[in-house]
A and B are shown apart, each in its own frame.
Chain A
């Protein structure tokens, strides 16, 4: 029997808190789950620093990847199978791409990519196409199968319908992470009727469309995305942790460039510091390694690095103030000057964080063909863009909401053992009183 068609002698299941069970019958899928590159995803949290705000958010990219696979499997096997627009020869390709779509994520991806200027998607490609266990399994299907999977994940495949199942404005990736993140954070915003959405999905030429009768279920999904962004993903306390994490990485890199002598060689970081990251180096990195360095860097002689690490490890985060760049940019310049005068390096301790620093895809109607919108399939076969039919979606997608915050270490500013008068000026400018920003919980 061809490897691509090989089935396990009996179905394997993963117990899953979101989908109840993740079902695996295909030998290829089972083998991919067992690879070291896929198992590595167990050691990378899905939500990065969010666990410092929502203590339940310790779930991994491994959980999520299995979840995306399961949703795609249900769409293909339960809804699309037998429909003339769906080519069942694409089944295995779609399942593999769903399972592997996040394979290149590293620890605390967002901060790492920002500081060291790389894209995890490039590592996904490198793992699928390079000398890895994943590649060896995919090649057993056919020599060009790794390339096909890589192209679907990169969204550059000519099989646009397959791509849209995994990556579009209503796809398996989003449907899984919204529900999973809601479950593990404990919030109620991420709920929507996924079963209903799956039942009304239809393959239509290059895209997945939604039967008009399912519009209200999709409205719930769009609302859920909107709520989760503001309540969970862009939570100001998680952002504070992210700001500190980013600054730690910046500081370590700067120290290395200045020939600083670390007490323990940060060997896992060298290739990042020198911008020569190999796939082998990259795969060695996970969150335990990063946390190990943050732990030992607390003892470093460099005051900024050790302080930032202590803050991250012990959750002594920066406080924040609302910031309106248009009205307050002159105030920020003044604050920068005062921070310098007080001996608190503003480069590390006075940080503006904007909503665009954590891009999240709000629903966009694609008025100028920037992105393909969600299309509703009307009874007469016509396609209509969702926000033209739904007042709720129209209201959300037409309304811009952006946000900026100014982060600072309140404990430094309240320490009057030095530069008392300058710190008092800073506190006045930031309107700090003992309770402002004292937001320890979510």
Chain B
């Protein structure tokens, strides 16, 4: 029961703490694209891949008391911090989720900043296009972020490194 909820709880557990809704969205999207079995549906929005389903599921987990959400004022806006509660840990111990190597991948992503993860997720969203076309998409759709070609290269290298980690499965 609630298998998809349990997978998200596992993601937060192995990450320790996730700072920011945007970061959480991008981490789950990237994990899904590199083959972890998350089932939330993502669509391209103004700021890149976004899943309303994921947002709702996180809200449900907070309401259930399985996830802890702390709202913090940061400059002119709010930021949210997510951790798993003790009740959440207990639930997870009774509903184990098998996702080997998830911890390695998510810890790595958690060390990156949200801006870079936005780029990585955008590159993955257009993975049916050539690198040249993807770069063009990044420069037009994400013009306000002012990504450089070097950063796009870095995103590609990062995706390959993540995929290598999952191949060990």
Contacts and interface: CB of A to CB of B under 8 A. Distances in A.
Q: Do A and B bind each other?
A: yes
Contacts, number: 96
Interface in A332-391: 332-333, 336, 352, 354-356, 359-361, 364, 367-372
Contact of A356 (B25, B46, B57, B126): B57
B41 interface: yes
B60 A360 contact: no
A156 B141 contact: yes
B87 interface: yes
B57 A329 contact: no
A353 to B, nearest CB: 11
Given A156-B137, A329-B91, A368-B79, A354 B41 contact: no
B59 A372 contact: no
Ranked 7 nearest A-B pairs via Cβ: A356-B56, A372-B46, A326-B64, A359-B53, A356-B57, A158-B140, A402-B60
A320 B134 CA distance: 48
A348 B44 CA distance: 34
Nearest to A369: B47
A324 B39 CA distance: 22
Interface residues of A, number: 36
Query: Which of A206, A326, A361, A370 has most chain B Cβ within 10 Å?
Result: A370
Interface string A308-332: 0000000000000000111001101
A121 B43 CA distance: 9
A343 B42 CA distance: 38
B39 to A, nearest CB: 8
Interface of B: 1-2, 4-5, 20-22, 25, 39, 41, 43-47, 50-53, 55-57, 59-60, 62-66, 77-80, 87, 91, 94-95, 125-126, 137, 140-141
B94 A329 contact: yes
Contact of B59 (A119, A370, A400): A400
B53 A369 contact: no
A160 interface: yes
Given A326-B65, A329-B94, A367-B78, A354 B45 contact: no
Interface of A: 113, 117, 119, 121, 154-156, 158, 160, 206-207, 324-326, 329-330, 332-333, 336, 352, 354-356, 359-361, 364, 367-372, 400, 402, 404
Contacts of B20: 368
Contacts of A329: 1-2, 91, 94-95
B66 A326 contact: yes
A325 B64 contact: yes
A359 B94 contact: no
A209 to B, nearest CB: 13
B113 to A, nearest CB: 13
A142 B120 CA distance: 33
Contacts of A333: 94
Contacts of B43: 121, 155
Contact of A160 (B46, B56, B66, B125): B46
B58 to A, nearest CB: 9
